[in-house]
Structure 1
Amino acid sequence: MKKLIITGAANGIGRATVERAIQLGYFVIGADKDAEGLETLQSRYGADVFEAQSADFSEMATIKGFIPSLYERHATIYGLVNNAGIYHGKSVYAYSDEQIDEILNVNLKALVYLSKDFAEREMQHEAPRSIVNIASVAGEVGSCDALYGATKAAVIGLTKANAWNFAPFVRVNAVSPALIHDTAIYDTIPDYRRAEYARQEVLKDPILPSAVAEVILLLVGDALRHLTGRVIPVDNGAYPR
């Protein structure tokens, strides 16, 4: 049974990805600071297919120690989905210094450390491995939340660079969602911005976390084994490019 790490596992896209991965036969290591959400998943799926890891990726000690601690118990792990993220939906002027540090840690620094620590260990096996980062259309076309947009643009750059850094054994790709319904972020997006997303979509079926999860797991698995350094949009065609 292949093992897969999913951060931000307790809710939204992360939770949907956990559920889809287990359906596909993965053993999932789910990390989140939402202990209650993790407990719900653990109770539903059991220790045979799911391991809950309480982790707050706004803390540098957690970021730096997370992967090393996993490898004290797991000899090898097949894939990493860097999904944990923060979105405030507010002006750059409204950010405190603490909030700037927090969003940089969760949305970018965590990906830097988790990815390199994972790849460093798995490249030694000289076998196919996969990392999928969750970017955003905000990283491509901008965001009313400048810090969110900046970090997601950095995720895209990191994805492309690490595809080179970790080749030939660890593939690195990104999923770039647009307006995803039924998530915590959806409720914090300003109304005018939600309306703008909806206006530009050429497909009108609302995008749900489960749809993003399907794309993530395609990138993780062998079906797209020839793709690396790619950013795959899940946006109902809102931004043709």
Structure 2
Amino acid sequence: MNKLIVTGAANGIGRATVEKAIQAGYFVIAADKDAEGLRALNSRYGVDVLETHVADFSDNAVIKGFIAQVYERHATVYGLVNNAGIYHGKSVYAYTDEQVDEILNVNLKALVYLSKDFAEREMKHEAPRSIVNIASVAGEVGSCDALYGATKAAVIGLTKANAWNFAPFVRVNAVSPALIHETAIYDTIPEYRRAEYARQEILKDPILPSGVAEVIVLLIGESLRHMTGKVIAVDNGAYPR
């Protein structure tokens, strides 16, 4: 049974990814700062397929120590899904210094350390491994939340660079969702921005976390073993065109 780390695992896309991955036969190591959300996952799935960690990826010590903590219990891990993220939906002028540091840590710095620490341990096995980063169309076309857009643009750049850095054994790809319904973020997106997404979508079935999770699990697996350094849009055809 291949093992898969999923961050931001308690809600939204992360929770859906945990569920889809377990259905696909993975053992999932799920991390989130939402202890109650992780308890809900534990109540649904047993220890044979799920291990949970309460982890706040805004904390530098957690960012730098999390992968080492995982490898104290596991000799090898097949894949990593860097999903944890923050979105405030507000002007750059409204950010405090603390919030700037927080979003940079969660949305970008955590990916830097988790990815390199995972790859460093797994490349020695000289066997196929996989990382999927969660970007956003905001990283490609901009965002009303400048810090969110900037971090997601950086995730895209990091994905492409690490595809080179970690080759030939660790593939690195990104999923770039547009407007995702039924998430905590949805209600914080300004109404005019939600209307813009809806206007540009050429497929009208609302994108749900489960739909994004299906793409993540497909991309992490061996069926797409010839793809690396790619950004896969899940956007109902909205961006970019």
- TM-score past 0.5 threshold: yes
Matched, 1:183 2:183: yes
The 8 Å contact of residues 174 and 232 in structure 2, kept in 1 or not, is answered as yes
Deviations 1:43-84 (A, max 9, x none): 110111000100000000000000011111100000000000
After superposition, what is the alpha-carbon deviation per residue over 1:74-132, rounded to whole angstroms, capped at 9, x for unaligned? 00000000000000000000000000000000000000000000000000000000000
| TM-score scaled by length of structure 2 | 0.99
Match of 2:185, SS? helix
Residue-by-residue CA offset, 1:207-230 (whole Å, 9 max, x unaligned):
000000000001100111000000
Show the counterpart of 1:231. Answer: 231
Partner of 1:110: 110
Partner of 1:39: 39
Which residue in the other structure is 1:79 paired with? Answer: 79
Which residues of 2 match residues 1-241 of structure 1 at below 5 A? Answer: 1-241=1-241
TM-fit CA distance, 1:240? 4.0
For 1:73 and 1:176, how far apart are their aligned partners in 2? 31
Whole-angstrom CA distance in 1 between matches of 2:161 and 2:52: 30
Paired with 1:170 and 1:8, the residues of 2 have a C-alpha distance of: 21
CA deviations 1:187-223 (Å, max 9, x no partner) are 1000000000000000000000000000000110011
Shift of 1:5: 0.1
Structure 1, unaligned runs of 5 or more: none
Q: Offset of 1:165 from its aligned partner? A: 0.0
Matched position secondary structure for 1:74: coil
1-structure distance, mates of 2:16, 2:69: 25
Give distance in 2, aligned partners of 1:240 and 1:197.
Answer: 11
CA–CA distance in structure 1, aligned partners of residues 240 and 139 of structure 2: 15
Within 2, Cα distance between the matches of 1:51 and 1:187? 30
Q: Matched residues in 2 for 1:187 and 1:8: separation?
A: 18
Q: Which residue type is aligned with residue 172 of structure 2?
A: V
1: CA distance, partners of 2:229 / 2:73: 30
Aligned residues: 241
